[in-house]
Amino acid sequence: MTPQLSDAEPGVATAALSALSELAVLAPSVLRPRLQSLMPALVRPCGDFTVPARQEMALRALSSVVENTGTVVTPFVDFPSLLPDLLATLAIAPGAAAVAGAAGASDIGATAVAAAEAIAGPDGQLSGHLATLQHATWRLRREALRALGIVGALDPTRLEMIRAAMTAAKAEAAAASHAALAAAFSAARGGGTNSLVV
């Protein structure tokens, strides 16, 4: 089931997430030994705003798996990006996630106008679509809030540790990117020993 959770086709991934959610209710003992392999594929779509239906189902499945297997709080520790993703889902403006998903973009603020034009009807009016978009966004927010409540409260000290780990990971990625850029620059200059200074 793990490959289907990460399938490129949103419909397949959403159906697999739905099946996982139901399996967690019906047979949690079957999932417990497989959580290490399932959780990364389950958590990844929780922060993906490009396909709101898949994100909503991922949040629902996460809640169901955590609730029925008793793995509270550990997803926040094992997946440091999960808490910021859930909070970002709660913070989005009504309709923004669905609009960004319709445009196929992850930068909600920068793509709102283009996405609105893309989903406008033939007469250019959005009035018929806005109610649907706002309803979808509120469902998404409800699932994010439910997931926050089920996954559980996080000790403030542990939260700071997670934030520090995320900051360190970002700094490490930036340093690796800088080193790769310096190596490429050096190679482009004919293999000289001059280093790129930023």
Q: Does residue 62 or residue 180 have the better pLDDT?
A: 62
Measured distance CA(102)–CA(50) in Å, rounded: 7
Q: How far apart are CA 60 and CA 54, in angstroms?
A: 10
Instruction: Determine how many CB atoms are found less than 10 A away from the CB of residue 112.
Output: 17
Instruction: Say whether 192 sits in a helix, a strand or coil.
Output: coil
Euclidean distance between the first and the last CA atom of the chain, given in angstroms as a whole number: 46
Angle at 97 between CA 95 and CA 99, to 5 degrees: 65
pLDDT interval class at 3 (50, 70, 90): confident
Tell how far CA 119 is from the center of its chain. 23
- How far is it, in rounded angstroms, from Cα 187 to Cα 192? 7
Cβ atoms < 10 Å from Cβ of 12: 15
Instruction: Choose among 138, 140, 97: nearest CA to 119.
Output: 97
Residue-wise pLDDT tens digits, 5-15: 888 898 999 99
Q: Which two tokens stand for residue 42?
A: 């389950």
CA dist 23 and 49 (Å) reads: 25
Please answer whether residues 144 and 89 qualify as being in contact, where contact means their C-beta atoms are separated by less than 8 angstroms. Answer: yes
**At 72, is the pLDDT very low, low, confident or very high (cuts 50, 70, 90)?**
confident
Tokens read off for 104: 């196929």
**H or E element in which residue 171 lies:** helix 156-188
Kindly report, residue by residue over 113-138, the tens digit of the pLDDT. 444 444 444 454 444 444 544 556 88
More confident position, 167 or 114: 167
pLDDT for 98 beyond 50 = no
Q: What is the pTM of this model?
A: 0.64
Are the beta carbons of 98 and 137 closer than 8 angstroms? Answer: yes
Structure tokens of 192?
A: 């000289």
Q: Helix, strand, or coil here: 101?
A: helix
To which residue do tokens 């490429």 refer?
Answer: 184
The DSSP symbol for 124 reads: S
